Amino acid sequence: MIREKMREALSRCTECGQCEQFCSIFLTMGEHSAQQKLKIIGELLEGRELTDEEIDSVFLCTKCEACQEVCPQEIPTIEIFDWARHTIQSKYGFRNKKQQILVQNILHYGNPFGETKSRLLDASAPPEKIVHQGEDIPPSSTLLHLGCMLAYRFADMRDDLLEIFNLLEIDYTLLEEEKCCGYFIWNTGDHHSAEKVIQENARIFDPYDRIICACAGCYTFFKQNYPHPEKFYHNIEIISEKLKELNLAPLMKKGEHHCVIFHDSCHLTRPHGIIEPPREVLRQIGYELEEFPLSGKEGLCCGADGGMRIVNPELALTMGNARLNQLKEHQDLPFLTLCPFCIFNFRECVSEEEPWKIGSLYQYIKEYLQKAL
């Protein structure tokens, strides 16, 4: 049944080339567009052995969903790419050692980095908000899920977010033993291992009525692959609504103009339409936006996701630089985003000599609330 569905979807491709206009991979390399991948996957579907170059082409994708968004035939390209990755991994194994280590770390340690320390080490969360291992009754019906990158690589961003929730008096609970969502594993094609993670997390999530996600990658994976997708929200949705309720005044003095660049996370815009909430927040706290030529659902990818930094880190940086170069004349402005993956890749792109200040929107929200409340 799956194969018949795939054949039907592939047969709808008219090779119009629309997907190439917004594919960050194609715009950077001049090849490996969705259209080209579909041809390769058609061969895989019919049982032909693929070359290493063809297999690499399937994995050269950040899963930003731009091709799926603009396809006039509404071909579910991401679902097809995921099927192909799974089929390739099942038949040929992992593409490189890093993928294998990543999966082993998540299954053994609960995170892709092999960290053994707590995600909440030195976190600014009140002790009563934390659910410890073995405790069955959560203090709140709302869970705040931090994600691996935020917890282990951006503790400052984690603490800014917790302070925002505390200042806005948003109810939440944190899990001391929070586990990876499984998205990292899924992108390697090892869906069997990813399903184990999904099932275990779904059991842990069951007592909660609402789960607020700090990571865009976790959020879209929860919404698309977990049971009860209606339970999951991204934190910017919650923060935006709370700020509207409070109706606080901007702190900028009359006549002052403060401008920032905002980069959309692909995982929030195209699959879920979360475009206006971060912009509404920035305007409410007094900032003007310098928009990219392509933004919102047409925005280009930072280059980091879909496993790209593992499969081809050099290409991830090339794509990140291409995105930054679109607004290079404004590199003196603060460059903000919601996604820890985007921040990580963009910071890797920038040299110490360049004036780019790449950071999190949460820092600006926190500083505003500390003055406004």
Q: What is the DSSP string of 103-131?
A: HHHHHHHSSTT---S-TTTT----GGGEE
pLDDT (mean) for 166-190: 96
- Residue 257 confidence (pLDDT) above 80: no
182: which 2 tokens? Answer: 């499984």
306, 216 contact by CB (below 8 A) = no
pLDDT at residue number 250: 81
pLDDT of residue 265 exceeding 80 = yes
> What's the pLDDT at 352?
85
Q: What is the average pLDDT value for the chain, to the nearest integer?
A: 93
Query: Once rounded to an integer, what is the mean pLDDT over residues 188-206?
Result: 97
Q: What is the pLDDT of residue 47?
A: 92
Tell me: the pLDDT tens digits for 24-36?
Answer: 999 999 999 999 9
Distances (CA, A) of 342 to 28, 305, 370: 17, 8, 26
**Which of 371, 304, 367, 372 lies closest to 159 in space, CA to CA?**
367
Contacts of 279 (CB under 8 A, 6+ apart): 262, 289
How many Cα atoms are found within 13 Å in the side-chain-facing hemisphere of 371? 11
In this prediction, residue 256 has a pLDDT band, given cuts at 50, 70 and 90, of low
What φ, ψ does residue 16 adopt, rounded to 5°?
-70, -20
**What value does the mean pLDDT take over residues 232-258?**
86
Q: What is the pLDDT of residues 310-366, one digit of tens each?
A: 989 999 999 999 999 999 999 999 999 999 999 999 999 998 888 999 999 999 999
Give first-to-last CA distance, the chain, whole Å: 57
266-304: buried (b, 16+ CB within 10 Å) or exposed (e) per residue? bbbbbbbebbebbbbbbebbbbebeebebbebbbbbbbb
CB burial readout 228-254, b (16+ within 10 A) else e: eeebbbbbbbbbbebbeeeeeeeeeee
Angle at CA 12, nearest 5°, toward 8 and 18? Answer: 145
Residue type present at position 316: A
Distance between CA atoms of residues 34 and 77, nearest Å = 7
pLDDT over 70 for what percent of the chain? Answer: 97
Alpha-carbon distance of 66 to 24, in angstroms, equals: 9
At 244 the three-state DSSP class reads helix
Alpha carbon 118 to its chain centroid, in Å, reads 22
Q: Where is average pLDDT lowest: 44-58, 60-74, 129-143?
A: 129-143
Q: Residue 258 has what pLDDT?
A: 87
The pLDDT, as a whole number, for residue 1 is 54
Q: What is the pLDDT of residue 135?
A: 73
Of all residues in the chain, what percent carry a pLDDT higher than 90?
Answer: 87
pLDDT of residue 255: 56
Pairing of strands 210-213, 258-263: unpaired
pTM exceeds 0.85 for this model: yes
Residue 253: per-residue pLDDT: 60
Q: Nearest-CA neighbor of 318 among 298, 302, 294?
A: 302
Whole-number pLDDT of residue 251: 75
Rg value, the chain, Cα: 21
- In the block, tokens 């901007």 appear at 250
Cα dihedral sign, 81-82-87-89? positive
Domains defined for the chain, CATH in brackets = 2-92 (1.10.1060.10), 97-239 (no CATH), 248-372 (3.40.50)
Q: Where are the alpha helices (DSSP H) in 130-214?
A: 148-152, 155-167, 183-188, 191-205
The answer on pLDDT for 158 being more than 80 is yes
Cα(82)–Cα(63) distance, integer angstroms: 9
Measured distance CA(222)–CA(181) in Å, rounded: 7
How many CB atoms within 10 Å of residue 164? 22
- Give the separation between CA 63 and CA 84, rounded to whole angstroms: 13
Task: Give the pLDDT score at 207.
Answer: 92
In this prediction, residue 228 carries a pLDDT of: 97
- C-alpha closest to that of 130 among 161, 175, 171: 175
